[in-house]
Structures are given as structure tokens and as C-alpha cells.
Amino acid sequence: MTEQAELTRPQTRKPLQTVNPATGEPGRTYNQHSIEDAHGAAAAAHKAFHEWRRTSFDQRAAILHKAAEILRARKDGFARLMTAEMGKTVDDGRAEVEKCAFHCDWFADHAEEYLRHEPADIGGGEAFITFNPLGVVLAVMPWNFPFWQVFRAAAPALMAGNGMLLKHASNVPGSALAIEEVLHQAGVPKDLFRTLLLPSSDVEALIKDKNVSAVTLTGSVPAGRSVATAAGSVLKKCVLELGGADAYIVLEDADIASATKIAATARMVNGGQSCIAGKRFIVVRSIIEQFEAALVEAMRGYEFGDPAKEGTRLGPMQSVNARDEIHSQVEESVAKGARLLLGGKVPDRQGAWYPATMLGNVGPGQPAHDEEVFGPVAAVIAAEDEADAIRIANDSEFGLGSGVLTGDLDRGRRIAAEELEAGMSFVNENVRSDSRTPFGGVKHSGFGRECGVFGIREFVNIKTVHVKPAAQSTGSGVE
């Protein structure tokens, strides 16, 4: 049996069953695709790519602008779909769909500029650099921003002339299929973008499919290792956006009221279920008591409630298992010396609920210090001074986002630009992704970038072209 035949042997698959995390009640069920379906989709996408790459930027842009229109027109329904599948508040869901629409518009308007030929001078003749599409990109995406993280990858990939296969998280199949529907309605060829409802166990086989040229993953560190290993084994490009334990340094000259408002916003984005949520607040000891007291009050304002109701600030976690893991990290941290300043109790109700929680006296050896806590738990860590705060911030396996809260902008600018080991550093505001600037991390937070000019150039062939009249050509024996 050949390797390809071995990978595509028939298998029986149970339907995907969604669960409403706010109530614990079952939702819709969806039939999964087979690995044969996936390989067939990859072959069809590769064929469609060869036609798509010949389309003009104007043709692609018209389709992406149409996708943005559809997203805005159906914003409420998509938001409520996210609420039902993974518990996102409906307000956050609407904002997420709007962000996707802006992203489509942005790359529709700027892709040609980002990928325009660049002239080069290599000492004679004509030289320039081109940016040509690679082929079919496999996107392996998580549940926490079920629309944004797909469009974040898809809009630039499609505008660059690539095709895409989407393997989404198993708890958001409705969102995955809705994204496919939006793009197809907008005019993306049906074979060029396909949603595949597959288990994670099929990802390696799909990466190794000859019709897949590259892979992008947003997910956990273990998932990143697995994807990078599979991609490396067949020498395919990959971009990884992994976990984060974002550190915000709070200096003694920070305005406490402003700093705690920023900190609470940073920690509670998407119910704390975000890779770039602020997770470690490293505070100079001289102001730590004031900061803790003010942050408790700011965090207390995030009361949980029905995520389908407008105005709710904190919905459920994405699953009971996820909630229990968060609670276990909190309990272990307290057992190892952390102080529970707020929350930290599992409520007696159905669903995956967990309150806004805050820990003080957090230090090495505690999960709240060493691990990524993927929920509404703020960890406050004491530092002796600026240098100590920077040391603590960088003493982490992660390096996604980071922040500096200070009254001295020159000081904040220097620390953010030169000292913090992260892919993004924000001064006096919470870290966020933006279509216009590169997004990604270092260390175990991954490699490669999304968004902006650097993001769209991840999945292109950056090619040097040198043109010289034949009569002038002398050649060279030097590499």
C-alpha cells in the first residue's frame, strides 16, 4: 500500500455535536468530512488556484469588498452563532464581525501596493523583486475568535492569489461553514476556499498532501510543535501564532486609575480567552497595594451574565473542561502562595461559568506565573524597580504581546521598543491585532507574521528577477 493510499483509507466518523457553553445544552450536529474528502478538496483547490492566480488585483478586490458587505449585513446572525457555539457575548461577536469586514476591505484596497514589484540595483541591467502566490494554504484555526482568526489569514492569502483549506476547531463547525458561505456568496470560486470538518488527527496527512503548499496555525504550543514538525518533514512553509502570557509592566509613575482600567480591559478581552490578553501585571513594589486595590474594583465590574443579552460583559468559558482547567490553575497557585483577591470560586449553575478572578503575591512555581491561564484571571507580580520588572516580563517561554504603563512616554517607548521580548509592545493601552500592522510573536509564541505588508508576504514566493540584454551578458562563476 502506498503512503497516500494508507492516509486515505475509509473511516467511520461520528457527527460533530455542538454544546451551548452557557447552558450545557446540546446544539446542532454536523457531519464530518472524511480524509478522502479532504484530499479531494486539496486537489480541486490546487486546480482552482492556477486560475485564481491569473486574476487581477481589481477582480479579487471586488470579491473581498463584497465579502465585507455580506459580513456587515449578517453581523447579528453571525454574532449569535458564535454565542451559541463558544459563548462569546453578542456585543463582542458583532465587533468581531465588523473587524473581519474592515480586514477584507483593507487588503482589498492595499494588496496590490503590498505586492508591487520592487526595483533593485545589483550593478547592471534591470533587477526587481516579485511576490507570487505559493498555492493552497491550509489554515488550522481555534475557537476563541472563530471568524476573525480565519479572515485574518484568508483575506491576505486570497488577495495574494492563493487558495485556502480551513480546518476549524471542532466546537465551532457552524461558524466554519458560515465563513465558507460568505466567501462563496461574495464570488470566491467554490473549490478555491473550502471548509473541512475534520479531527485534528487528520491535519498531518493534509499538510503532507502534495496539493497543499503551506500551513498557518493559530493554537496551542503543542499544536504548533505538531504542525511545525509535519510541515518541516515535507519542507513546507508555516506560520504559527501560539500561546501567550502577556506581561504588562506598571511603573511607579503610572496613573493608577488609568493603569488599572487598561489592565482590566487587557485581561478580560473575550472573557480572558485570548492569546494577547494581559495575563501578568508586573508592578513596582512602591505602588503595588494601590494598584491591587484599584484593579480589584475594575475587575469586579465584569459580572457574568447571559452572553446573548446586550450589555453583558462576561460570558461563560468555552467549555466546562476549559473552566475546570482554569480553576485548577488558580487553586494550585493559591496552594503555592498566591493570594486570592477576587473570584476564584466555581458558581453552582449549569454551564461553563467562571468569575473575574485576581491573584496577588504571584511568583515562580505557580501556574499563574509560569503558564498561560486562558480565562478571566489576573496575576499581579511584584518587582523592585524597572530593571527587575523587565527581567520578570522576559523570564517566560512566551513572547506574544506586552505592555508598559507609565507617565513618562519616552521611558515607555524605550522599554517597549528595546527591552521587552515580544512581537508587540503597547504603551498605555491594551495589546490588540490590527489589519495594518504585523501580528505575531517570538519564543514559544510562534513565528511568522499576519496582517500588514509583512503578513501578506508570508505566503508568497519572493523572487529576484534580473534582466540584461544578451549581448551584454557575461555571467559569473561566483554564487
Q: In 3-state terms, what secondary structure has residue 358?
A: strand
Q: Where are the alpha helices (DSSP H) in 234-319?
A: 256-268, 288-300
Q: Annotated active-site positions, please?
A: 241, 275
Grid look-up 485574518 returns 152
Beta-bridge partner residues of 95:
none
Q: In 3-state terms, what secondary structure has residue 81?
A: helix
- Cβ(187)–Cβ(63) under 8 Å? yes
Burial of 418 (0-12, 13-18, 19+ CB in 10 A): exposed
> How many degrees, rounded to 5, is the angle at CA 278 between CA 272 and CA 283?
135
What is the C-alpha to C-alpha distance for residues 470 and 479, in angstroms, rounded to an integer?
Answer: 20
Residue 299's closest CA among 341, 244, 337?
341
> How many degrees, rounded to 5, is the angle at CA 152 between CA 138 and CA 438?
110
| Beta carbons within 8 Å of 462's beta carbon, 6+ residues apart | 129, 130, 131
